[in-house]
């Protein structure tokens, strides 16, 4: 299983790139899963629904299932957020897992960078960032890729993963 991340500051194109990469890789015949890290409270459930009521009542886990999908919600209830490695172990086997966020983890990553965001490059201090996908020329010791050239970014990821 290939593991590769997309990281960067807010409003630099991470989610758009992730979406395009999933489409690109699945079109190429690869099975893909994604992991998205959020810095805010996330809830896939809705107040008043049965599964939400189960959680509110104190259930540690609630598995919500339908004919189209299922979701397992686990309440941490004050416990530490699990590390990326523990979450990856819960995924079904696929060809490629793309990770959005988790900028401090040690897996290989591409940084998204937009000049208009006005943020410094993470890559300057992070050897796990293998390239920067950007909308502007950069002076950096890593490859730079056109942020809008999804095929080239996908090719780069596959070459890096083969090393």
Residue 40 has pLDDT above 70, yes or no: no
Residues 6+ positions from 161 with CB-CB distance below 8 Å: 2, 4, 96, 108
- The domain spans of the chain are 2-41+80-162
CATH (one of 3.40.640.10, 3.90.1150.10, 3.40.50.720, 3.40.50.300) for 2-41+80-162: 3.40.50.300
Segment 107-117 shows an average pLDDT of 96
**Per-residue pLDDT band at 56 (split at 50, 70, 90):** confident
Residue 50 has pLDDT above 80, yes or no: yes
- pTM to 2 decimal places: 0.90
Q: What is the pLDDT of residue 51?
A: 86
Segment 17-29 shows an average pLDDT of 98
DSSP secondary structure string for all residues of 94-137: -SEEEEES-TTSSS-EEEEE-GGG-PPPSGGG-TTEEEEEESS-
The pair of structure tokens assigned to 145 is 């890729």
């Amino acid at each position: 299983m290939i593991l590769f991340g997309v990281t960067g500051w807010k409003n630099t194109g991470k989610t758009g790139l992730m979406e395009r990469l999933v489409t690109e890789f699945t079109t190429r015949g690869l099975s893909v899963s994604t992991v998205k890290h959020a810095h805010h409270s996330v809830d896939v459930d809705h107040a008043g629904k049965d599964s939400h009521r189960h959680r509110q009542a104190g259930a540690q886990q609630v598995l919500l299932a339908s004919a189209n999908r299922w979701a397992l919600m686990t309440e941490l209830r004050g416990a530490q957020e699990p590390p990326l490695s523990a979450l990856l172990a819960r995924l079904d086997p696929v060809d490629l897992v793309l990770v959005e966020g988790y900028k401090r983890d040690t897996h290989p990553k591409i940084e998204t960078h937009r000049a208009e965001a006005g943020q410094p490059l993470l890559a300057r201090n992070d050897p796990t960032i293998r390239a920067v996908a950007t909308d502007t020329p950069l002076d950096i010791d890593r490859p730079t890729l056109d942020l809008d050239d999804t095929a080239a970014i996908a090719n780069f990821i596959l070459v890096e993963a083969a090393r």
